[in-house]
Amino acid sequence: MENIDQPYRKNPLLRLSYNLIAPLYDILISRPLLDARIQSLRAMPSDVAGKVLLSGVGTGLDLPLLPAIHRYTALDFNAAMLARAIRRSEHLRNSGKIKEVDWVLGDSMALPFADAQFDHVVLHLILAVVPQPVQCLSEAARVLKPGGTILVLDKFLHPHQPALLRRALNPLSRRLATRLDVVFEEVLSGVPQLQVSSDVPLLAGGWFRSIVLRNR
């Protein structure tokens, strides 16, 4: 595993918190979001081999759903989450579903990669987790080749949506697990080179959305 020092400076508690979340994560998240993951990953081509970045890979719940043809780089800032993803990929390899994965301990808001390296970037449940989602999306766009795609799956408020309970819970939630107040349109306006190809409402009355972005 490549261990690049990309310190996560803005919210150190969040990284610690994912140590506690890691053992519970699959039990809580795997089943409810499976269909949404499948829907999002449909946008990933499976005919032409490319380089794919999984930014904030977590425990690797996407791995079994990914086309084996691509070369993957999986990054997370929490070693406990990453360790689970590595174990999952070993199981996949043992069961004959070989996936080439390079593992990186790093920060999604300061990606340790040169510009225009990847054909696709997967941002599943990371944009609404990091304290600076524009920085996270902007970094994904930077490492993406021209014409490449970003697959986003996350929970977003719509512009001017009151969502009083979610906003009230946000000060605590953002420190421990995830933000609840991220408005996708505001994030996108900070990264103008990206264009929306599709935007599909999914779970929880469209709170969760599957969004495909293309690098102009």
Ligand X SMILES: C[S@@+](CC[C@H](N)C(=O)[O-])C[C@H]1O[C@@H](n2cnc3c(N)ncnc32)[C@H](O)[C@@H]1O
Please state the closest distance from residue 200 (CB atom) to ligand X, in A: 17
What is the C-alpha separation between 89 and 49, in angstroms, rounded?
A: 19
Interface region with ligand X, contact rule CB under 6 A, candidates 92-100, 105-113, 166-174, 184-192: 105-113
129 binds ligand X (CB under 6 A): yes
108 binds ligand X (CB under 6 A): yes
Q: Are 36 and 203 in contact (CB under 8 A)?
A: yes
Q: Are 86 and 1 in contact (CB under 8 A)?
A: yes
| Integer-rounded Cα radius of gyration of the chain | 16
103 binds ligand X (CB under 6 A): no
89 binds ligand X (CB under 6 A): no
Q: Are 132 and 109 in contact (CB under 8 A)?
A: yes
62 or 119: whose CB is closer to ligand X?
62
Q: Which of 124, 155, 174, 179 binds ligand X (CB under 6 A)?
A: 124
- Residue 72: what are its φ and ψ, rounded to 5°? -105, 145
What is the C-alpha separation between 74 and 93, in angstroms, rounded?
A: 16
CB neighbour class for 39 (10 Å; exposed up to 12, middle 13-18, buried from 19)? middle
150 binds ligand X (CB under 6 A): no
Residues 2-31 that bind ligand X (CB under 6 A): 8, 18, 29
9 or 93: whose CB is closer to ligand X?
9
For the chain, give the number of residues: 216
Please state the closest distance from residue 62 (CB atom) to ligand X, in A: 6
Please state the closest distance from residue 106 (CB atom) to ligand X, in A: 6
58 or 148: whose CB is closer to ligand X?
58
